Amino acid sequence: MSSKIFDMNIENQIVSRLEEDRTLSDKELSALLETDFFDSLLFESADRIRKSIYGTDVYVRGLVEFTNYCKNNCYYCGIRCGNTVLPRYRLSQKEIMDCCETGYKLGFRTFVLQGGEDDFFNDETLCAIISEIKSKYPDCAVTLSIGEKSYKSYKLYFGAGADRYLLRHETADDEHYQKLHPQNMSLQYRKECLRNLKEIGYQVGSGFMVGSPFQETEHLIKDIRFLQELKPEMIGIGPFLTHSDTPFKDQKSGSLELTLRLLAILRLMFPNVLLPATTALGTISPDGRELGLKAGANVVMPNLSPVKVRKQYALYDNKICTGEEAAECRSCIDLRVNTAGYRMVVSRGDFFK
Ligand code: 5AD
Ligand code: FES
Closest CA to 77 of 208, 201, 241: 241
- Among positive and negative, which fits the CA dihedral 299, 38, 207, 257? negative
pLDDT of residue 225: 98
Cβ atoms of 76 and 210 closer than 8 Å: no
- Pocket residues for ligand 1 (CB within 6 Å)? 76-77, 168, 170, 209, 238, 240-241, 243, 280, 315-316
CA distance 320 to 304: 13
Strand order in the sheet with 203-210: 62-67, 110-115, 141-145, 164-166, 203-210, 234-239
Q: Is the CB of 307 under 6 A from ligand 2?
A: no
What pLDDT does residue 1 have? 44
Q: Indicate the DSSP class of residue 87.
A: P
Q: Which atom of ligand 2 is nearest to the CA of 324?
A: 4
Q: Which residues pair with 60 in a beta bridge?
A: 300
Query: For the purposes of burial, counting CB atoms within 10 Å of the CB of 113, is it exposed (0-12), middle (13-18) or buried (19 or more)?
Result: buried
On the CB side of 286, CA atoms within 13 Å amount to 0
Q: Residue 9 has what pLDDT?
A: 74
Atom of ligand 1 nearest to the CA of 239: 2
In one letter, which amino acid is 277?
Answer: A
What is the full per-residue pLDDT of the chain (353 aa) written as tens digits?
A: 444 555 667 767 999 999 999 999 999 999 999 999 999 999 999 999 999 999 999 999 999 999 999 999 999 999 999 999 999 999 999 999 999 999 999 999 999 999 999 999 999 999 999 999 999 999 999 999 999 999 999 999 999 999 999 999 999 999 999 999 999 999 999 999 999 999 999 999 999 999 999 999 999 999 999 999 999 999 999 999 999 999 999 999 999 999 999 999 999 999 999 999 999 999 999 999 999 999 999 999 999 999 999 999 999 999 999 999 999 999 999 999 999 999 999 899 988 76
Q: Is there an atom of ligand 2 within 6 Å of 329 CB?
A: yes
Quick check: helix, strand or coil at residue 138?
A: coil
Ligand 2 contacts CB of residue 97 (under 6 A): no
